[in-house]
Amino acid sequence: MKKNIAIIMGGFSSEYEISLKSGNVVYQTLNNEKYAAFRIHVFEDKWVYVDDADQEFPVDKNDFSITINQKKITFDCVFNAIHGSPGEDGFMQAYFKLLNIPQTSCNMYQAALTFNKRDCLSVLKPYGIKTAESFYVNLGDEIDANAIVKKVGLPCFVKANKAGSSFGITKVYKLEDMHQAIDVAFKEDDEIIIESFLDGTEVSVGVIKYKGETTVLPITEIVSDNDFFDYKAKYLGESQEITPARISDDMAEKVSKTAKQVYDILKMTGFSRSEYIFKDGEPHLLEVNTVPGLTKASILPQQAAAAGISLTDLFENAIEEALK
């Protein structure tokens, strides 16, 4: 008998359009001989099942069920394709845990921790994971641009602490531009992380649980046509993503080892994709994504393909791992 799979997509953040694309790729790719897939849109004002005719049916949040033609449908597993809140920050993970419904991403704590860049980097530092110099600012704090530059230098990156897809990020070259960059970041979050600029090769490393094993996928080198790997570079083709990365065997081994270490330290499950920049030959961690993009242009599917894992296998494995 086919298993009922709810593919959740949408979300409450600026990333909802990308999430809908990711969710639709999963919907189109899943093996329909094994799974009955249902597209579930999760927005602040509505949770609905959307059928192939784009008709909407409300989700009963009491048990995460839907009713179609007076027939109640429940789900064996949830495929999480929500980037940002509430799919990547722990809320949906906690909700499904309470309902005892398996889901494909990591657990609640890991999602909340990795979504908070400042907290995640702070937890990993004692394990010897290298990171950029950083300065923290919260909404309402007095901004001392001179103190910031003294700690992190110029140029630097001003980032929203809890946001993805490079929303709320500015590269700052001049002291006088700091306040404007901070205002941009505060539009996405009430916490900011300001980091030193690491001048080196940027790579993205996918780590997944595949057939029960922590598996590091082939590494992708990021060469942005823009000043950094921003939204346009990520989603509008304004970058080169080269898999496998053009780095030495020694560098590849170092970053693969570090990425696997991070996955295991945090007791991760499901998909993850982390970004690193090499400085003085050592990988420095920028961030960890636990619901990475799954569109045709996204990095994790490219890496899986380079490892000989098809999209169908990648998504099926995620479901089967969750059901264990």
Reading the chain (324 residues) residue by residue, the pLDDT tens digits are 999 999 999 999 888 999 999 999 999 999 999 999 999 999 999 999 999 999 999 999 999 999 999 999 999 999 999 999 999 999 999 999 999 999 999 999 999 999 999 999 999 999 999 999 999 999 999 999 999 999 999 999 999 998 765 678 999 999 999 999 999 999 989 999 999 999 999 999 999 999 999 999 999 999 977 665 555 545 556 678 999 999 999 999 999 999 999 999 999 999 999 999 999 999 999 999 999 999 877 999 999 999 999 999 999 999 999 999
Class of domain 3-104: alpha beta
The CATH number assigned to the domain with range 134-196 reads 3.30.1490.20
15 labelled catalytic: yes
Distance between CA atoms of residues 265 and 309, nearest Å: 25
Distance between CA atoms of residues 198 and 279, nearest Å: 6
pTM as predicted = 0.92
Neighbours of 308 (CB within 10 A): 8
| Catalytic site residue from 19, 22, 105, 165 | 165
| Catalytic site residue from 22, 85, 274, 298 | 298
| Catalytic site residue from 14, 15, 204, 321 | 15
310 labelled catalytic: no
Residues of the chain with CATH 3.30.470.20: 112-129+199-323
Residues of the chain with CATH 3.40.50.20: 3-104
Cβ atoms of 127 and 154 within 8 Å: the answer is no
122 labelled catalytic: no
Distance between CA atoms of residues 105 and 184, nearest Å: 30
Distance between CA atoms of residues 78 and 40, nearest Å: 10
Residues of the chain with CATH 3.30.1490.20: 134-196
Q: Is 24 annotated as a binding residue?
A: no
Q: Is 289 annotated as a binding residue?
A: yes
The CATH number assigned to the domain with range 112-129+199-323 reads 3.30.470.20
